[in-house]
Amino acid sequence: MRVGIIGVGCTKFGVHEKTIQELAFDAVKEAIEDADISREDIDMSVVGTSNTRGYELMPAVPINEYCGFAGKGPIRVEAACATGSAALYTAYSSIVSGMADIAVAIGVEKMTELNTPTSLAVGGRSGSYLWEFHQYGTTFPGYYAMHASAHMAKYGTTSEQLAMVAVKNHRNAAKNPKAHFPKEITLEKAVSSRYVAYPLKLFDCCPISDGASAAILASEKKIKELGKEAVWIEGIGYSSDTANVTKRSDYAGLKATVEASKMAYKMAGIENPLKSLDVACLHDCFTIAEIMAYEDLGFCRKGEGGKFVEEGRSDFGGDITVNTFGGLKAKGHPLGATGLAMIYEAVKQLREEAGDLQADLENYKALTHNIGGTGHFGWVFVLGV
């Protein structure tokens, strides 16, 4: 059974003086208006939030109540930074199972209610607490920095190449009013910024943002019945890896990306991603993550990710347009919202509603790549019209 996306919503990412339910409401409202359906048409609500920084420890029901979905679910899902993708999959599954005709996937995160040291200590628990954070004070930037150190040593990837990812994504974010940092940066500014976790500098890191996103999914039968247009979910892939950093065989890539993309490409019938896809939303929580993703998704050979961005192959007019909306790097990365914000962006691109950030479409296919932790979760979706 085919499942299509009939409505999407996404708030501006940044610092919001709104509660988690108020923020989720804004995204859901936009998605319902976009789908041109009513609240009562929805059979199942899936709430995705990692919410490890929130005061509302069990937020699914308050969010569901505020959005007017009491009685329709909710199912709460959590997959760290890939939570939004897990929510999409759960909503998709509720339709494929025949239990729901129309389902909403909500992704939301409030990250700015805590101070930075507390937020760092929460993110630093994204590995295996007792053996990593407890003993060594790991942080989330620190984990990606370790991957960057391995990639740079093994393949000669440079700080400049990392910074080129940031420059590209900031250039795109400058045209996106929903971005946390809608402003351009220079390569000079990026490479001369202070270290957060060597070898990663301030401009290699995504900001700490609040945000929400939502997608409304329906069965093909229901979509026909309602006479709607849809963006179809053509490929789904998922994988995961060890919690403990010591139990990984290699640090120059993410196995979860490789495995998830293989599964998604197979389902979508894609043999050569660069030939089949027009746009991609890649998980660039840190610049090194986008470079590893080019390689692990098969856009280039292993070790050539630095060159891929340097040669402009991931920019407008390149082989595949990556992170047209500014990526996590400049648009922001409110954990639970990110995966569905990618879906929002892919849908806008495929409908050719992306305005100044519209990529040229040849195949009308887009990919989203959403990672939880450092490859602790990996999700890839292929969308098409």
Partner 1 sequence: MIIEGRELVFKHNIPVTRVEKYWKGLEEGKIYGTVCKSCGAKYSPPQADCSLCYSDDMEWVEIGGEGEVECMTEQHSFPAGFEFLKESYIIAVARFGDFKVVGWAKDKISVGDKVVAETGKDETGVWKVYFRKV
* 133 belongs to the binding site for partner 1 (CB under 8 A): yes
- Out of 38, 58, 246, 356, the residue judged to bind partner 1 by CB under 8 A: 246
Q: Is 333 a catalytic residue?
A: yes
Query: 336-361 burial string, b = 16+ CB within 10 Å, else e?
Result: bbbbbbbbbbbbbbbbeebeebbbeb
* Stretch of 178-186, 197-205, 216-224, 324-332 contacting partner 1, by CB under 8 A: 197-205
Query: 109-138 burial string, b = 16+ CB within 10 Å, else e?
Result: bbbbebeeeebbebbbbbbbeeebbeeeeb
Q: Which is nearer to partner 1, 141 or 327 (CB)?
A: 141
- Which residues 137-196 are close enough to bind partner 1 by CB under 8 A? 137-139, 141-143, 145-147, 149-150, 152-154, 194-196
User: Distance (Å, rounded) from C-alpha 327 to C-alpha 294?
Assistant: 14
Active-site option among 81, 205, 281, 300: 81
Question: Helix or strand or coil: residue 256?
Answer: helix
Active-site option among 147, 170, 333, 376: 333
* Whether the Cβ atoms of residue 254 and residue 241 lie closer than 8 Å to each other: yes
Q: Is 81 a catalytic residue?
A: yes
Q: Which is nearer to partner 1, 1 or 130 (CB)?
A: 130
- Out of 4, 48, 124, 339, the residue judged to bind partner 1 by CB under 8 A: 124
Q: Which is nearer to partner 1, 16 or 222 (CB)?
A: 16
Q: List 381's β-bridge partners, or say none.
A: 236, 368
Q: How far is CA 309 from CA 179, 300, 312, in A?
A: 21, 10, 5
* Whether the Cβ atoms of residue 261 and residue 297 lie closer than 8 Å to each other: yes
* Stretch of 39-47, 177-185, 241-249, 276-284 contacting partner 1, by CB under 8 A: 241-249
- Out of 98, 117, 227, 317, the residue judged to bind partner 1 by CB under 8 A: 117
Closest CA to 49 of 41, 40, 58: 58
* Per rule CB under 8 A, count of chain residues that contact partner 1: 44
Binding positions for partner 1, rule: CB under 8 A: 17, 55, 113, 116-118, 120-121, 123-124, 128, 130-139, 141-143, 145-147, 149-150, 152-154, 194-200, 244-247, 251
Active site residues: 81, 333
